[in-house]
Amino acid sequence: MTDHPETTQSFVTAYGFQDLIGFRKTEFRKGYARMELDLGPQHMNRAMVPHGGVHCCLLDSALGAAGVYKGLPNDFHRAVTLNLNISYLAAPKGQRLIAEGRRVGGGKTVYFSEGHVEDDTGLVLARASGTFRLLAG
């Protein structure tokens, strides 16, 4: 955890899907977002590794959130994903997935983010890049 005032305790669950999967936002600031998920049996596929959709969900959320910060932990712009590219690299050795996203460019309505998912041992599991559109209002 960093020295930023935006800690896990200050974030509210943003939407129902986040509750369903069980991940949480643990850091959020301009150009950066971090999501974490404690793995359980409900996240595993038949090979007993996390389903690729779990990685995808975390990366989509972290990369998208990296471009929507408005200055307060629970105040953000709305955005949608236009494109998301993921490369899966490894199966986790730990029990927690950590996704980090960084805004790397863009303009007033479309922005680009990059990031990765690692486990709590530091092993990088997947990398992603995405294109997102800010919504009006």
Give this prediction's pTM.
Answer: 0.88
Predicted pLDDT at 8: 46
Going by C-alpha positions, the residue among 56, 53, 54, 52 that lies closest to residue 83 is 56
Question: Which pair of structure tokens corresponds to residue 136?
Answer: 């009006």
Counting the structural domains of the chain, the total is: 1
- Residue 47 sits in a domain of what CATH number? 3.10.129.10
Query: What pLDDT sits at residue 41?
Result: 96
pLDDT by position in tens, the chain (length 137)? 344 444 444 666 667 888 888 999 999 999 999 999 999 999 999 999 999 999 999 999 999 999 999 988 778 899 999 999 999 999 999 999 999 999 999 999 999 999 999 999 999 999 999 999 999 97
Domain that holds residue 45: 8-134
Examine residue 2 and state whether it is found in any structural domain, yes or no. Answer: no
Report the SS3 class of residue 24: strand
* Residue type (1 letter), 75: D
Report yes or no on 94 lying in a domain. yes
Query: Is residue 69 included in any domain, yes or no?
Result: yes
- Give me 5's structure tokens: 């005032």
User: What beta strand segments (E) does 2-109 contain?
Assistant: 24-29, 32-38, 69-72, 75-76, 79-88, 96-106
Contact 78, 135 (CB under 8 A): yes
Contact status, residue 102 vs residue 32, Cβ threshold 8 Å: yes
Write down the pLDDT at residue 91.
95
pLDDT the model gives residue 9: 47
Is the residue at 3 inside a domain?
Answer: no
From the list 102, 87, 96, 136, the residue with the least C-alpha distance to 120 is: 96
